[in-house]
Amino acid sequence: MARAVLLFRLIVRPMLRDRARAALTLAAVALGVAVIVAVDLAGEASMGSFRSSLESLQGSASYEITQVGGIAEAVYGDLVRLEEPLAFSPRIEGFALLPGAGEEVALFGVDLIGDPTLREMGGPPRRGASELLDAPSVWVTASLGISPGGALPVVAGDRRMDLEVQGIIEPSGGRAGRFLLVDIALAQRLLARTGRLDRIYVHAPPGDGRDWSARLASVLPPAATILPAGTRTEDNRRMLRAFRWNLRMMSYTTILVGAFLIYNTIAAYVVRRRQQIGIVRAVGASRAMVRAAFLIEGAVFGAVGAVAGLVLGRVLAVGAVTAVGGTVSSLYVSSTPGEIALGPGTVATGVLTGIGMSLLSAWWPAREAAGVAPTEAMARARLDYRVRAASRRSAVAGLALVVLAVGCCLVPPVDRIPVGGYLAPVLLAAACAAVSPRLSAAALGVAGRLLAPPLGIVASIAARGLAASLGRTSVIVTAMAVATGLVVSMGVTVGSFRETVDDWLRSRLQADFYVSPIGEGGRGAGSTMAEEVAARLAAAPGVKDVGRFRTYPVRYGDTPATLGLADVALYERYSGIEFLEGPAPAEIWRELEAGASVIASELFSYRHDVHAGDTVRLALGAGIVELGVAGVFYDYSGERDLLIGDRAALLVHLPDPRLSSAGVYLAPGADFEESHAALARAASGRGVEVTPTRTLREQAIRIFDRTFAITYALEAIAMFVAILGMAEALLNLVFDRRRELALLRMHGASTGQVRRLVLVQAGLLGLMASLMGLGLGAASSQVLLRVIHKQSFGWSLPLHWPWEFLAAALGAIVVASVAAGLYPARIGARLAPAAVLRAE
């Protein structure tokens, strides 16, 4: 006990006294945990949004029935008459624009009179319900902030209507999402789906384990799909899972960077207090006790940091939800952020990661401390780390890690999660850590020689000072390199992606204008407009062609896909589609026109292993249709599997002529502005908007950028933590070398020279980290593009180096490093040389 007290007095208390460094380390852990927590919360919240809207209205359903193009409602009558203990809930699902708020929200149509499950869910009272439904009544979720009693103008597809807000619906558990609820009759009218239902939920009795699908199928048309309820949410989850995994992996980078910091802090203490450790050992502390002291130290950093991180993470989550929600909306499905719920799982993840990482990074310094011999109490304190770069061995280890990383890239994904792909950058970072001492030594040697002439002895002393504490220097360089690597690899990946999408938009968006129902976001199948809009547009002056397009959500195999119906003749001429598989393009187009074929997007082809020449069976309209795959084309329109077929040919199966969008091609020489005005006139009052292609492209790129906003934020935080680590490392350096600084001062160094020395060290660290990070990032970006992206999304992206971004980022990192050196430099310059020397 007494020894433990001594241990505390000699080892722990000095660490606690050093508030600045303790604070920096805690901040790093806290940020690391905060990012993990925030990303987790945001992911959950953005998932929660569409889950809550749909699932809360889904009740206790066991199955859901869907059909491409909608279910003929007469089928519903047959279902409800089935002599089985089943209940049914019909649904119309669509979107409506609230012109007042400019917001597009989900609109659900339910059977407010007959649906027994609404009552189970505490639905509207029966008495008087039919009365209310004589008016165009709507119920809104509380989060929309619309108060009952007024008129609510909505635009759905090409229709406008003033609804009467009858009340608020609000689940008692919160997370209502943002949607409108109307009776099914009104929904059909609003969304132009008279005679059709989008979905039917089937409720089996509670506790009933029977499989009802065959019984249901007996009264359903063959094209109807019966799936376990929640499949769509599950689809979305699955679709989002890859995205969330990527985000999660990124969020762990910060804690990884933070771990280097904890390592550095504790290692510095161990080195500094070697003599004291020796004393404690001499008076009888065991090795285990010493090790425990440092491990506890690490755990304390971890625990305190983690708790702070939880709080910070909850705060960051607010911003992250917006960012992630934006990504989810623009890339996947329309979603409104749900409530942020800090659940036990998230808390546990954060705290365990924080403490675990801290313990892990305290392990080696603790081991070194435990290894201090009691005789060292007598010895003069060693002022430097043991550079444990048994250089050759670690170089070999580094090489082995690289080889391992390459091996990981060849591992196929597990359930669409590129496990090997995630491991590879980690291994690369480890390799970086292994070779870092050697590389740093070499780099500093070169830097010392190169910098001495222009910057004088200060630079050379600076370089050698860093080289002398290589153990520490290389750790901080590695930490920064990991953060920089993240910036670089994401920069390269996102840059490549952006470039590709931009090229693709340019080649694909050949029309001069696009016309779509008002409020149609980047989400795909949803609102529709009447076919006659296209005819009106075609009649406008200056218009050469109008290409009509309709999308349907379909299922292929176990996953959702999108079927696009296009005017193939026009599509061939204008769409700019490029094929990566199949016969000559002309041949492919002819085949499409023949009507028994579709073309598949690269994603579709990749995910389903369907290639040109294969056939796909799709449930369309009333039956199952077999279609040939004429070719596979490049597509970056979103995270969805896309099939495109000829509109005229497929209308046989899907006889609804309404359109999702139309492309307007002007005749040569037509005046753009005049045509725009003419088109706007032609389309006015039809609930559609005419968007010039340039605007559309800009919107797309803006959406793209919004999609990646969260990644920029994560990079910035990781970098910030690394810079914190830099500041800390430099502070350590200044403290450990303060005698040398004092000597320099005695021998005529000015405060400016001392300051410069520290700043040069900062700059050198930043530069080395940048270069190493560039290497690491370049390698990781290959992994991201070729392995992670391909495996989790199925996109193949040509590599584009975003030079400006990289130059700016690396420049900024060096500048930030130097900035991080400002405070340590001031501390160094402020040291009173006489006092330092006297104290020694």
| Residue (130 or 507) nearer to other proteins, CB | 130
Q: Can you give the three-state secondary structure of 342-382, one letter per residue?
A: CCHHHHHHHHHHHHHHHHHHHHHHHHHHHCCCHHHHCCCCC
Interactions with other proteins, residue window 807-836 (CB under 8 A): 832-835
**Element housing 605 (H / E):** helix 602-608
| Residue (539 or 834) nearer to other proteins, CB | 834
Q: Which of 127, 344, 392, 669 binds other proteins (CB under 8 A)?
A: 127
CA distance 672 to 678: 10
CB of 816 to other proteins, least distance (A): 26
3 state SS of 105: strand
- Helix intervals (H) in 18-96: 19-58, 73-80
| Residue (6 or 743) nearer to other proteins, CB | 743
Can you give the length of the chain in residues?
840
Work out whether 206 is an interface residue with other proteins (CB under 8 A).
yes
Interactions with other proteins, residue window 728-787 (CB under 8 A): 739-740, 743-751, 753
CB of 838 to other proteins, least distance (A): 6
Interactions with other proteins, residue window 626-655 (CB under 8 A): none
CB of 203 to other proteins, least distance (A): 9
Region from 10-18, 131-139, 528-536, 642-650 binding other proteins, contact rule CB under 8 A: 131-139
**Distance, first Cα to last Cα, the chain:** 31
Q: Is 197 left (phi over 0), alpha (psi -120 to 50) or beta?
A: beta
| Residue (166 or 478) nearer to other proteins, CB | 166
Work out whether 613 is an interface residue with other proteins (CB under 8 A).
no
Q: Which of 152, 169, 731, 734 binds other proteins (CB under 8 A)?
A: 169
| Residue (453 or 669) nearer to other proteins, CB | 453
Closest by CA position to 153, among listed 87, 101, 208, 196: 101
- Interface pattern 219-238 for other proteins (x via CB under 8 A): -----------x--------
| Residue (110 or 308) nearer to other proteins, CB | 110
Q: Which of 4, 20, 161, 167 binds other proteins (CB under 8 A)?
A: 167
CA distance 344 to 351: 10
Work out whether 838 is an interface residue with other proteins (CB under 8 A).
yes
CA distance 527 to 524: 9
CB of 330 to other proteins, least distance (A): 27
Q: Which of 25, 49, 52, 264 binds other proteins (CB under 8 A)?
A: 52
| Residue (77 or 284) nearer to other proteins, CB | 77
Work out whether 172 is an interface residue with other proteins (CB under 8 A).
yes
CB of 437 to other proteins, least distance (A): 16
CA distance 470 to 463: 10
Work out whether 287 is an interface residue with other proteins (CB under 8 A).
no
Cα distances from 287 to residues 7, 281, 551, in angstroms, run 12, 8, 70
CB of 69 to other proteins, least distance (A): 16
- Interface pattern 437-476 for other proteins (x via CB under 8 A): -------------------xx---x--xx-xx--------
Work out whether 166 is an interface residue with other proteins (CB under 8 A).
yes
579-587 long-range CB contacts below 8 Å, 24 or more apart?
579/631, 579/632, 579/633, 579/634, 580/632, 580/633, 580/634, 581/605, 581/611, 581/612, 581/631, 581/632, 582/612, 582/613, 582/629, 582/630, 582/631, 582/632, 583/612, 583/630, 583/631, 585/631, 587/630
Work out whether 345 is an interface residue with other proteins (CB under 8 A).
no
CB of 497 to other proteins, least distance (A): 37
Work out whether 130 is an interface residue with other proteins (CB under 8 A).
yes
Check: CB of residue 108 under 8 Å from CB of residue 181.
yes
Q: Which of 16, 23, 135, 442 binds other proteins (CB under 8 A)?
A: 135
Interactions with other proteins, residue window 69-98 (CB under 8 A): 73-74, 76-78, 80-85, 87
CA distance 336 to 321: 10
Provide the b/e sequence for 367-394 (b: ≥16 CB within 10 Å).
ebbbebeeebbeeeeeeebebebebeeb
CA distance 473 to 469: 6
Work out whether 656 is an interface residue with other proteins (CB under 8 A).
no
- String of DSSP letters for 381-402: PP-S------HHHHHHHHHHHH
Angle (deg, nearest 10), helices 419-455 and 231-272: 40
CB of 470 to other proteins, least distance (A): 11
Q: Which of 6, 161, 185, 227 binds other proteins (CB under 8 A)?
A: 185
Work out whether 194 is an interface residue with other proteins (CB under 8 A).
yes
Q: Which of 19, 126, 544, 694 binds other proteins (CB under 8 A)?
A: 126
Interactions with other proteins, residue window 348-387 (CB under 8 A): 383
3 state SS of 629: strand
With CB under 8 A as the rule, give the number of residues binding other proteins.
92
| Residue (115 or 641) nearer to other proteins, CB | 115
- Give the pair of three-digit tokens for residue 579: 């094929």
**Which amino acid is located at 159 in the chain?**
R
Work out whether 609 is an interface residue with other proteins (CB under 8 A).
no
Q: Which of 46, 137, 346, 675 binds other proteins (CB under 8 A)?
A: 137
Region from 158-166, 303-311, 559-567, 780-788 binding other proteins, contact rule CB under 8 A: 158-166
CA distance 686 to 666: 21
CA distance 72 to 67: 9
Work out whether 286 is an interface residue with other proteins (CB under 8 A).
no
- Give the pair of three-digit tokens for residue 609: 């292993």
- Interface pattern 403-442 for other proteins (x via CB under 8 A): ----------------------------------------
CB of 62 to other proteins, least distance (A): 11
Q: Which of 3, 20, 99, 164 binds other proteins (CB under 8 A)?
A: 164
CA distance 43 to 325: 8
| Residue (188 or 770) nearer to other proteins, CB | 188
